[in-house]
Amino acid sequence: QSCDAQQRGSRSRVCVSVLFLALSVHFSSSQTYVLDDKGGLGRLFDGIGGLSGGGATSRLLVNYAEPYRSQILDYLFKPNFGASLHILKVEIGGDAQTTDGTEPSHMHYENDENYFRGYEWWLMKEAKKRNPNITLIGLPWAFPAWVGRGKNWPYDYPDITASYVVNWILGAKQYHNLDIQYVGIWNERKYDIKYIKVLRNMLDKVGLSGVGIIAADGDWSIANSMISDHALNDCVEVIGAHYPGTTTVADALKTQKKLWSSEDYSTFNDEVGGGCWARILNQNYVNGNMTATISWNLVASYYEELPFGREGLMTAKEPWSGNYVVESPIWITAHTTQFTQPGWTYLRTVGHLAGGGSYVALTDGKGNLTVVIETMTHDHSVCIRPPLPPFHVTSQNATFQLNGSFASIKELQVWRSQFNFKTKTPSLFEKLKPLKLIDGSFTLNLSEDEVYTFTTMTTGQKGVYPDPPAPAGFPKAYKDDFNVRNPPFSEAPHFADQTGVFEYYINLTDPGPHTFTLRQVVTERPVTWVADADQTISVIGDYQWQNLTVTCDVFMESVDSGGVFIAARVNKGGESVRSANGVFFWVFADGTYKVTNDLAGQTVLAEGLSGTRAYGWNTLSLTVNGQLASGQLNGYPLWKNAVVLNPKNGWAAIGTRSFELAQFDNFAVVAD
């Protein structure tokens, strides 16, 4: 193979590498690694996946127009196209804040069941449409208040909690023809042995014996309990740990159960994030015998200023513009997913490279072989957690010798990613010339920060669509009258609930101008995962907005104690929502109003009489310009020139004084 003008400067290494591959040059200085199945095989491979939820991480995805929404889904799920994911894990919504927002429950109240709320049902169906063999998993982060029976704890009544979860699995099948293969316990919270046994028994009783339980979606500690409690051990199919740092513990290995990194990654999705993902995808098995790795999160489809912004396999946070970005983790995922399937088996001959990095090899047992090699350096593969101990990677020659049933392989397909951190010109998932083997052997010149796949599979493809539209800020003039007779989703576009749940509502008692509204429906504080606010709130818009006018019709449904607000410059959401500041214009059912600098309502900027009552519509308007704010009620000035020093910018928002029913209509915002 010739090297043309590319054979200059930093690019010469690329050509040299290709020459090594094409000619199968052997170096005496190479370390040799044997890939062999004669002594048996390793563990069964269960797949690589993404996590939607925990919470509301796919919130904005549903609002993309076609064809962009389908393109994003193809990059995630379509086989032999992009990430080609094997697993989709979703949150079982619990009406509570679970990182970047709330997801609605299928049972807000004990006598309530609705299996069309939210967007996880839709997402699972879209994934299944593209990959009928995809593994589906559900996991609760939080629970509606009634499950806890007055306590912020779901285990005092294990039959109630188990029934709630089982109903979700049954509903997935009955209403969406979705088969959930695994279910978790309670994300990253203390597990309860009695509850796990009750859940297993209930699943079996209703014909769901094929649904496996993953426990405990936290650390490895449940393994010790499983060793001493054989009944518990029989209930658990998979031990799932979060952010395990590629290592497991002896007790987990003793159980002989499947070991998964059931939540991992959670790292900003630039090239270092891609390096993190490349390293842990290999080393979760090499170091920890973990046979599945699931990324939190699937797609960063939430406002970037919320916690953990852009920590998905790709980014899709602008449905109003149509812009999305296929980030490096998509193509790093493809190095494994496009050339393996769940049910393949790891070889026992996997490990670390002498010069740093790692290699894994998998087979389908039918003669196919896939080898994935990574040489990610420490500083270019740091994940958000846990801390990464020092290690060193250097350029090296490596010879791979295929023995056993693989000795007769004559040719391997080659795919390569080079991050090229020095030149900042990454080359991701590039197909190279097939590699001819000599006596089952090939030698590579491996540089730092590379990923290679060598495979007998010929089906790989780097899928591509035309560039999406350019990024753009949220529209400066935006309005929504919520007049949607048959909404495809229960949430209004672009609203991101941060405490409480705001759903489309048909007001049959008011056939006039407010028949179709948005209604806050959570009436008790849920069994929470983080510290939800005491008020409900949904944010929308551009976090950089400074000067703006927010207008909305509001309707309180709690006599005397009711209260609602509109807000501007809201500066916090997600796990930090309790401490959100901004400009909040409240009216109450006792005939008063208040203007505060915080969601908690402690810093009062203005207050007085409003004459507002429950069960009557009022129009609120809030204008913030520089350091001054003013408000109108039903078209008339109610207060003006309240001094606002901070925050300088933030989202618009609507919400309620407490967990109470209230309606909103004719929302509008105009920003400078």
Give the rounded percent of residues in the chain with a pLDDT score beyond 90: 93
Separation CA 142–CA 153 (nearest Å): 9
Pair (219, 339) in one structural domain: yes
Does residue 462 register a pLDDT over 70? Answer: yes
Pair (485, 624) in one structural domain: yes
**What pLDDT, on the 0 to 100 scale, is given for residue 509?**
78
Could you give phi then psi for residue 417, rounded to 5 degrees? -120, 130
Does residue 4 register a pLDDT over 60? Answer: no
What is the DSSP code (8-state) at residue 63?
G
Separation CA 68–CA 76 (nearest Å): 13
pLDDT in tens, 210-228: 999 999 999 999 999 999 9
Q: Which helix (DSSP H) or strand (DSSP E) does residue 168 occupy? A: helix 158-176
**What pLDDT, on the 0 to 100 scale, is given for residue 274?**
98
Of the candidates 632, 510, 620, 503, the residue with the CA atom closest to the CA atom of residue 563 = 620
Structure confidence at residue 24 as a pLDDT band (50, 70, 90) = very low
Pair (603, 641) in one structural domain: yes
DSSP string, 317-357: EETTTTEEE--HHHHHHHHHHTT--BTBEEES--EE-TTS-
pLDDT in tens, 43-95: 999 999 999 999 999 999 999 999 999 999 999 999 999 999 999 999 999 99
Q: Give strand pairing partners of 396.
A: 446
Pair (355, 257) in one structural domain: yes
Q: Is residue 8 part of a domain?
A: no
Amino acid identity for residue 133 in this structure: N
pLDDT in tens, 472-530: 999 999 999 999 999 999 999 999 999 999 999 998 877 789 999 999 999 999 999 99
CB of 480 closer than 8 Å to CB of 469:
no
Pair (331, 213) in one structural domain: yes
What is the DSSP code (8-state) at residue 166?
H
- The angle that helices 68-77 and 120-130 make with each other, rounded to 10 degrees, is 70
Of the candidates 377, 360, 380, the residue with the CA atom closest to the CA atom of residue 453 = 360
What is the DSSP code (8-state) at residue 527?
B
Q: Is residue 2 part of a domain?
A: no
Pair (388, 487) in one structural domain: no
Q: Which of 188, 237, 305, 430 is catalytic?
A: 188
Q: Write out 88-151 in H/E/C secondary structure.
A: EEEEECCCCECCCCECCCCCCCCCCCCCCCCCHHHHHHHHHHHCCCCEEEEEECCECHHHHCCC
Does residue 14 register a pLDDT over 90? Answer: no
Q: Is residue 412 part of a domain?
A: yes
Q: What is the CATH number of the domain that holds 90?
A: 3.20.20.80
**What pLDDT, on the 0 to 100 scale, is given for residue 393?**
98
pLDDT in tens, 283-333: 999 999 999 999 999 999 999 999 999 999 999 999 999 999 999 999 999
Per the structure, the count of domains in the chain is: 2
Parent domain of 525: 477-671
- The angle that helices 193-205 and 158-176 make with each other, rounded to 10 degrees, is 40
Q: Is residue 74 part of a domain?
A: yes
Summarize the confidence of residues 276-282 as an average pLDDT: 99
Q: Decide which of 389, 422, 455 is a domain's last residue.
A: 455
Q: Which of 91, 120, 126, 263 is catalytic?
A: 263
Pair (333, 367) in one structural domain: yes
Pair (186, 330) in one structural domain: yes
Separation CA 465–CA 282 (nearest Å): 29
Map tokens 């290679």 to a residue.
452
The residues near 539 (Cβ < 8 Å, ≥ 6 apart) are: 303, 495, 496, 498, 570, 573, 651, 652, 653
Structure confidence at residue 445 as a pLDDT band (50, 70, 90) = very high
pLDDT in tens, 325-353: 999 999 999 999 999 999 999 999 999 99
**What pLDDT, on the 0 to 100 scale, is given for residue 334?**
99
Peptide bond into 104 cis (omega under 30): no
pLDDT in tens, 124-158: 999 999 999 999 999 999 999 999 999 999 999 99
Q: Decide which of 455, 485, 500 is a domain's last residue.
A: 455
pLDDT in tens, 611-666: 999 999 999 999 999 999 999 999 999 999 999 999 999 999 999 999 999 999 99
**What pLDDT, on the 0 to 100 scale, is given for residue 512?**
84
Dihedral (C-alpha) 603, 608, 613, 619: value to the nearest 10 degrees?
-80
Give me 397's structure tokens: 């020659």
Does residue 9 register a pLDDT over 90? Answer: no
Map tokens 């946070």 to a residue.
317
Chain centre to alpha carbon of residue 671:
30
Q: Is residue 20 part of a domain?
A: no
Structure confidence at residue 354 as a pLDDT band (50, 70, 90) = very high
Pair (445, 533) in one structural domain: no
Does residue 5 register a pLDDT over 70? Answer: no
Separation CA 61–CA 324 (nearest Å): 10
Q: What is the CATH number of the domain that holds 573?
A: 2.60.120.560
To the query of whether residue 263 is one of the catalytic residues in this protein, the response is yes
Q: Decide which of 421, 455, 489 is a domain's last residue.
A: 455
Pair (432, 556) in one structural domain: no
Burial of 216 (0-12, 13-18, 19+ CB in 10 A): buried
To the query of whether residue 188 is one of the catalytic residues in this protein, the response is yes
Q: Is residue 64 part of a domain?
A: yes
Structure confidence at residue 29 as a pLDDT band (50, 70, 90) = confident
Rg (C-alpha) for the chain, rounded Å, is 27
Of the candidates 159, 164, 223, 168, the residue with the CA atom closest to the CA atom of residue 195 = 159
Q: Is residue 139 part of a domain?
A: yes
Pair (501, 438) in one structural domain: no
**What pLDDT, on the 0 to 100 scale, is given for residue 1?**
31
pLDDT in tens, 355-409: 999 999 999 999 999 999 999 999 999 999 999 999 999 999 999 999 999 999 9
Summarize the confidence of residues 99-110 as an average pLDDT: 98
Pair (366, 274) in one structural domain: yes
**What pLDDT, on the 0 to 100 scale, is given for residue 55?**
94
End-to-end Cα separation, the chain, in angstroms:
59
